[in-house]
Amino acid sequence: MGGPSAQVEDTVVEIKGIAKVMVKTMTAAQQVPRFTYHDEYSMDNIVQLKNMMKQLGKEHKVKLTFMPLLIKAASQAMAEFPMVNAHVNADCTSVTYKAAHNIGI
């Protein structure tokens, strides 16, 4: 490559095939509204619950982690505060309160 004074130009390449479909899907995914919330909570009660349930998990040969407990808590929160699990239509004229809780982690 040339020194600091060398001119470098961008290269434009046509996207084809599966890459084209993938880029289109990824670009569409960026249009999905996101909800982010941050707060701090005491986990003492959930740690105590997990420890109490640990023996039951061993009896059924299941390793209990915090994940299902946190998902259940999130689902209960959405039931109590349905606006968190709502969708506004494209022209912002109506809100759809979702009946199902589809939680992806």
pLDDT in tens, 66-93: 999 999 999 999 999 988 888 887 777 8
Which pTM value belongs to this model?
0.55
C-alpha span between 74 and 81 (Å, rounded) = 10
pLDDT value, residue 81: 92
Question: Do 84 and 77 form a contact (C-beta atoms < 8 A)?
Answer: yes
Strands in 1-105 per DSSP E = 86-88, 95-97
Of 87, 47, 100, 52, nearest to 70 by C-alpha is 47
Q: Is the dihedral of CA 26, 71, 66, 64 positive or negative?
A: negative
C-alpha span between 100 and 94 (Å, rounded) = 18
Q: Per-residue pLDDT averaged across 41-66, rounded? A: 91
